[in-house]
Structures are given as C-alpha cells and as structure tokens.
Amino acid sequence: MRDLQSIRSQAQLWKVPPETGELRVAVVGAGKMARFHLQTLNAMLGLRLVGICSPTSEKRNDLRDEFGIENAFGNAAEMFQETNPDAVFIAVSHAVTFQVSSLVLELGLPCLIEKPAAYSSGQIAELVKLANKSGCLNMVGLNRRFYSTVNQALLAVMQQGPIRGILVEAHEAILEYRSRRQFDESLYGNWMIANSVHAIDLLRMIGGEVVNIQTSKREINESRGDHFTGAIEFADGALGTFVAHWNAGSGHGMKIYGEGIVAELYPLEEGFLRYASGRVIKLHPDWTDRKFKAGLYAQDTAFLQSVCDGTRSPFPASDLKDNFKTMCLIEQIQGRN
Amino acid sequence: MRKEIRRRRLEVGEAGWGIPQPQPARLRGISATKHYRVAVIGAGSQGMSQCQGLLAVKGIQVVGLSDINVERLNQVGDSMNLASNTRFSDANEMLRKAAPLDMVSIATTAPHHVALGRLALTSGVKRILLEKPIDVSLREARAFREECIRANTLLAVNYSRRWTLDYRAINRCISRGFIGEPRSIFVTVGKGELGMHASHYFDLCHYLFNSNPAWVVSNLEPVRERNPRGATFEDPSGFCLFTFENGARAYIDFSSDLGPKDPFVAIKGTHGRITVDEQRMFWTLQSRSQRLWSIPFAEPLKSSTLFSRVAADLLSRPPVTATEESGLVALEMVIGSHLAQRRSGHQVTFPITNEDSEIGVTFP
C-alpha cells in the first residue's frame, strides 16, 4: 500500500503515460541510496516495483516489505531474468558499480547508475562502448543537477544575460571520514571521484564544454592530493574556478556570475540571488526537494520519462557519454592523466 | 497569510522570490567611456519612444530629430526637452547639420525606410537602425543591405523582441536543451495586422528556431477599415502557418475575431515546453523532469525600455545582435504571406525572388 497521504496533491505526482502501460522497475542495491530512490519511486503513479537485489538478505527483505516490492533476489542476473524489468536503478556500493553496470548494459536494460559509474575515465569509456553496442538508454545519477535551487539560480542568471563565471568549492573532511572507517581504502583513495564528482560535474553543467584548464594541487595528507585549484575556460566564454581544501572543513557550494547578478549557493540546497542593484532574493527548494532527497524526484522522473518515450534525457541530465567528460575533468584536476 | 501565499507560490516553482531586478541598458566595454551622437528620423509614437529610450542611456545624446510634420516634431521635442537647434523638418538638413552622427534611427512608416537609410548612408553614418519592417520592397531592401556591407556600415532592424532579456533567456534555455529540440511555436496575438504586429512574431520564430522559413500558407482577411497610419496602407489581419528548414512549424494567429491584443506564445520542444504571457509578464518552463518554473519578466516589453537596449547594443563594440539579415527574412515572411493569400491558400516557398516579391502592397 503506497502512502500518498503526505503528498500534497496527486496532480503533482509523475504518472507513467497511459500509452506506455505499466512500467516494471527493478532496483539493484539495498543501501541508503537505494532507499532514497525507492522513496521517490513510491510516490510515482503507474510503476510496478518488480524486484530488488542485494547480497544482504536482511536489507533486501526489509526494503521489499517496506515498499511493497514484488520480489527480492540475492543475484542481479537472476532478478533480471525473473522480472524482465523495463528500467533498472543501480545503487550498489561504489566498488561494484562498474561490474553491475556492465552486466545491465550488456543486457541492454535502460538504467540509472548512481554516481560514480566507475573510478576512472577508462572504465567509463568501457561502459559507453557497452551502452553503444546494446543501444541502451542510460543516465548517471548526479542529483545536484536536478536541485531546484541550482536550476532556479541558473535560470535567474541566464535571464539577465550570458553566464560569465562559475566558482565551485568542494571541501571534504577526508581525515574525519577516514577515521570513521565506514568504507574500504579504495573509496577513500578515490574520494574526489566518489563525492566531489557532484561539484565538479556542476562546473560542466553550468559552464558547458571545457576548452582549457590549468590546475595546481598539494599533497599534505593524501597521496592523490588534498588541496586543489583549477582555472577553467568554457567554450561559451564563461570562466570557471574550482577550489577544494580538504580538512579545512567540509561542504560544497557554488557561485554563478552573470550580468549584474550573482547566484550564491552555500550549501547547494539553499541560496541567494544578489542583483547589482543591491536586491537580494532568497532561493527556496521546491516541494520535491523538501519531501525527498533533494534532486532525486526530478532526476528519477526525467529518467523514467525517457524510458517511456525511448529518447535520451535532455539537459540537465547526464548520461555515460557526458559523464566521461566530467571524469576526464576530475582526472585533470587531480593530475591523474 | 503571507507565509501561506509564499509557500504555495514556491510549490509551483519560481525563479527565486520576487521580481528580478535587471541592470538598465548601458554601453559596454570601451564604448562606456565615450559619448555618442544619435539622430532619429520620424517623430511619431515610435520616434518618441526611441528618443525616450536613447535619453535613458548614459553616454547617448540625441542631437537630431526630424519629421515633416512640424507640429508633431515640436510636441515630441518639447516633451523630450530637446533643444530647438536639434529639431529639423528636413532629414537631409539634419544629417548635414547634426553631423558627425554615430547612429541614425529611422522610425517612419515602412515605404520610406530604405530611401531614408540611403540618405544616412551617403552622409557617412556607420550605424543605421531601421524600424520594422525593413521596407515594403524586398528588392530595395536586399540592394540596401549590399550597399551597407560595401560601405562597412552596420545595418539593423528593430525587431525588439530579440533584445528583450526574457526572450534572450528563453533562447538560451532552448540552446541548452531544457526543452529538447524546439519543434512547434503557437502564437495568438489578438486582433493585429500582418506587417505591424505579426511580423514581430515571424522574426521571433526565426530567432528561436534558428532556422530559415521553408514555406508559408496564410489566410488573410479582406481589409475593411482604413489603416490608422494612412489610407494607402494595406495591412490585413488573419493567420499564417510557416514551416522552417529544420522541419519546425509556427502558427501565428492575429485574426480580427481574437479581440484586443493579448499575445501568448507557446514553444513546444521534444522534451518540454515554454509559454510566454506577454500581457501578464511571465513565462513558464516545463522540462523533462516535469518541474514547472514560472518566471516573472525581468522588465516590461515597453518600446522605450527595449529601445535603450537596442541602441546600447548597437553602439557598443562588438555589437552582439545585428539583424539586417533577419530583417530581410521577416520581410520575406510578410510578403510570402500576402503571396500565399493571393494563391488561394497554396503554399509559397522561400526564398522569394525579387520578381515574385513585387506584389504592389504598401504596409506601414
């Protein structure tokens, strides 16, 4: 039984278009992100949650019962065979995302892959090849792209004229994260790809194609660097700046500079528009960003709508081909290429 | 109560809270440090709006205003506080006495645009702005464009929607792919006239599709009323359907039974749509994520305000929106609509040759 009581109006919920009929959705993973996706999927109309898969039986059964999923599986291949899904959400641990995504793409199943799709641009390129081979629709889950605040800021700056600059700050308290010992070393060693990808991806989302980049970094505590700056030129003429000082604190923020306006989002979930005249307008997240994990409802809607009409999702969505460029940018900032 | 209204408004989505506050039009770059001498030919309502717009831009000086109607000239001159030595009843004399001029704007009715533009060109003016439509003769307009290119003179046509902050923002949203590929534009203008009103939307469709028109069919109404700009003018109401070279379509309805002007524009893309309510001054954007953004206009579509932006743009270096070519396309679309009507609703294919364009219709 879907709990829609707390949703303001069913008219605001996304519905599977009648011409599509039912949409069979399967979820791989039973962790925190899988739960967030299930919460949004649960608030859409016309979906059938046909399966969930996780090696941990307790977790998968809990989510199955909580969200009324038809079946729970311990093996992804078995789930796909049994349930024949129309769309797959991949929200597994970072270490196995590449492996699971490869399987789903080989099977040609439309999929939303939670970021990071892989730990290197080389692996992303392999996934792109697989997707091209099977002609399979795909999207990378970068929910910041769908934040209502980010989109409001972008629209408000674009209303005044061209975008002139973007400043993105992505500070990470890596020492503190390491001390929690929640994840394995491969994740901490790839922290910029695992987490800062959100912020770096916003540089590309707002600025467009990168034509030139100059970077500097320092390795104080981390062998791959923990203090970074980057100066970026975009094809449309905007200038980008990336700043990350890990262990100085944590948090992602952004400024978008336009003609007589600056949008400031610190953190990305809230912000202000500052006009040259002195007027300040506060940005507020919309109801979907308040009700669910921010950006997720809009992102999942965009993905599922694409699955329904079989077309690639437009801006602000990012697919594997687009994500390859973000991954290259991360590697340039980190000096890994 | 206020909190409740605010909450509700936020739930349908809006770009921030409150009306945006744009910067006024201004000269840019090195031009911002200079002073520009500008003259206007024609002191009708458009000429008056142009003077207002010019005077609102720091660095622009109106050094000449001419009109053959001296009474109207003095009325506008007085209301704008223009000195008596800047008022001329003869455009030729103004071009001579007010020289050197950085820009001349021609705000008369269409049949005189190119002829007066040529006067400005021969007097050595390097920036010429013509009110829309560029002229009534496609042959003359094309020839004048060539003359301007040879003389290295910037020629622009005042299709002012190209300069509005909001239509520019809409164009940026389309370029970024917010609504996918734009495929169809639907415009209801209200009761309007082909050359006078509909041509603005012809140009807008050309601008937003970024593609040239391919063919048109039209249904124009017989002209029964005397045109307020003169009995010689024939500018019918009606509706037109255009297709563009990229396969997109535009339907523009300015029929007389639509009542007072209340322009509404709907742009449908492959993955979303944009609507513009010009009268109520807001536009909406709905993209694939199903979010509906409702965005208040940055500024009203007021002739004088828009003209400030047009003038500042043309006088700044480098000019970012010069539209002599689009002005020619818009004129072709007007003439094509007349031709389609004459061919009993059969489609007329673009481009139109100079010979075919001689339709003997004079519009304002």
Mean pLDDT computed over B34-55 = 97
A312 touches chain B (CB under 8 A): no
The 8-class DSSP code of residue A196 comes to: I
Enumerate residues 6+ apart whose C-beta is below 8 A from B101. B37, B38, B39, B63, B64, B95, B120, B123, B125
Kind of pairing between the strands at B87-88 and B264-269: unpaired
Greatest alpha-carbon pair distance for chain A in Å reads: 61
- Using the structure block, give the residue that is written with the tokens 């609507």: B275
Backbone phi and psi for residue A212, each to the nearest 5 degrees, phi listed first: -155, 145
Number of other CB atoms surrounding residue B296 within 10 Å: 17
Cβ distance B364 to B196 under 8 Å? yes
Pairwise CB contact (< 8 Å): A159 & B18: no
Per CB-CB distance under 8 Å, the chain A contacts of B294 are none
Percentage of the residues of chain B whose pLDDT score is greater than 70: 93
Mean pLDDT computed over B261-287 = 95
B288 pLDDT tier (thresholds 50, 70, 90): confident
- Using the structure block, give the residue that is written with the tokens 């790839």: A190
Cβ distance A30 to A56 under 8 Å? yes
Rounded CA-CA distance B158/B338 in Å is: 22
The 8-class DSSP code of residue B353 comes to: P
Q: How far is A278 from chain B (nearest CA, A)?
A: 9
The residue of A8, A146, A159 whose CB has the most chain B CBs within 10 angstroms, and thus the best one to mutate to test that interface, is A159
Which one, of A170, A204, A117, lies nearest residue A334 by Cα? A170
Q: How far is A327 from chain B (nearest CA, A)?
A: 21
Pairwise CB contact (< 8 Å): B293 & A152: yes
Structure tokens at B89: 């009843």
b (16+ CB within 10 A) / e for A159-198: bbbebbbbbbbbbbebeebbeeeeeeeebbebbbbbbbbb
Which of helix, strand or coil describes residue A43?
Answer: coil
Rounded CA-CA distance A331/A105 in Å is: 24
Cβ distance B162 to A155 under 8 Å? no
Exposed/middle/buried for B139, CB within 10 Å: 0-12, 13-18, 19+?
A: middle
B25 touches chain A (CB under 8 A): no
Per CB-CB distance under 8 Å, the chain B contacts of A161 are 165, 168
What's the pLDDT at B4?
Answer: 62
Structure tokens at B20: 């945006």
B27 touches chain A (CB under 8 A): no
What's the pLDDT at B214?
Answer: 98
Nearest-by-Cβ selection for B298 from A12, A160, A314: A160
Number of other CB atoms surrounding residue A307 within 10 Å: 23
Percentage of the residues of chain B whose pLDDT score is greater than 90: 81
**How many contacts does A have with B, using Cβ atoms within 8 A?**
107
Nearest-by-Cβ selection for A273 from B16, B165, B287: B16
Task: Calculate the average pLDDT of chain B.
Answer: 92
Rounded CA-CA distance A265/A117 in Å is: 26
- The residue of chain A with its CA nearest to that of B170 is A159
Pairwise CB contact (< 8 Å): B288 & A283: no
- Alpha-helical (H) ranges within chain B are 2-12, 45-55, 70-79, 91-97, 113-122, 138-150, 165-176, 199-209, 303-315, 324-342
Structure tokens at B341: 């009507």
What's the pLDDT at B362?
Answer: 87
Which of helix, strand or coil describes residue B15?
Answer: coil
Nearest-by-Cβ selection for A315 from B16, B166, B178: B178
Pairwise CB contact (< 8 Å): B289 & A299: yes
Among B4-8, B290-294, B296-300, which stretch is predicted with the lowest mean pLDDT?
A: B4-8
Cβ distance A157 to A265 under 8 Å? no
Judge if ipTM > 0.90: no
Asked if pLDDT for residue B85 goes beyond 90, the answer is: yes
Rounded CA-CA distance B121/B104 in Å is: 9
Exposed/middle/buried for B284, CB within 10 Å: 0-12, 13-18, 19+?
A: middle
The 8-class DSSP code of residue A113 comes to: E
Cβ distance B304 to B53 under 8 Å? yes
Pairwise CB contact (< 8 Å): B169 & A276: no
Helices and strands (DSSP H and E) totals, chain B: 10, 15
Pairwise CB contact (< 8 Å): A283 & B16: yes
H or E stretch at A297: helix A296-309
Q: How far is B13 from chain A (nearest CA, A)?
A: 6
Pairwise CB contact (< 8 Å): B285 & A284: no
What's the pLDDT at B20?
Answer: 78
B186 touches chain A (CB under 8 A): no
C-alpha dist (Å) from residue A42 to A3, A122, A313, A321, B341: 8, 35, 21, 29, 55
Asked if pLDDT for residue B320 goes beyond 70, the answer is: no
In chain A, residues 11-50 whose CB comes closer than 8 Å to chain B: 12, 14
B287 touches chain A (CB under 8 A): yes
* Secondary structure (DSSP) of B94-156: HHHHS-S-SEEEE-S-GGGHHHHHHHHHHTT-SEEEEESSS-S-HHHHHHHHHHHHHTT-EEE
Rounded CA-CA distance B64/B87 in Å is: 6
Torsion A182-A187-A192-A197 (CA) sign: negative
pLDDT one-digit tens code per residue, B321-361:
667 889 999 999 999 999 999 998 799 999 999 999 998 88
B15 pLDDT tier (thresholds 50, 70, 90): very low
Residue type, A301: T
H or E stretch at A159: helix A148-160
Pairwise CB contact (< 8 Å): B172 & A275: no
Cβ distance A91 to A28 under 8 Å? yes
What's the pLDDT at B135?
Answer: 95
A294 touches chain B (CB under 8 A): no
Enumerate residues 6+ apart whose C-beta is below 8 A from B1. none
The 8-class DSSP code of residue B172 comes to: H
Report cis status (omega within 30 of 0) of the bond before B318: yes
Rounded CA-CA distance B309/B56 in Å is: 10
Per CB-CB distance under 8 Å, the chain B contacts of A314 are 177-180, 270-272, 287-288
The 8-class DSSP code of residue A293 comes to: S
H or E stretch at A194: none
- Using the structure block, give the residue that is written with the tokens 């339907």: B251
Which one, of B279, B251, B254, B255, lies nearest residue B266 by Cα? B251
B163 touches chain A (CB under 8 A): no
Per CB-CB distance under 8 Å, the chain A contacts of B272 are 314
Cβ distance B20 to B296 under 8 Å? yes
From first to last of the 337 residues of chain A, give the pLDDT tens digit.
344 444 445 567 888 888 888 999 999 999 999 999 999 999 999 999 999 999 999 999 999 999 999 999 999 999 999 999 999 999 999 999 999 999 999 999 999 999 999 999 999 999 999 999 999 999 999 999 999 999 999 999 999 999 999 999 999 988 888 888 888 888 888 889 988 999 999 999 999 999 999 999 999 998 889 999 999 999 999 999 999 999 888 899 999 999 999 999 999 999 999 999 888 888 888 889 999 999 999 999 999 999 999 998 889 999 999 999 999 999 999 987 6
Query: Taking chain B, what is the end-to-end CA distance rounded to the nearest angstrom?
Result: 51
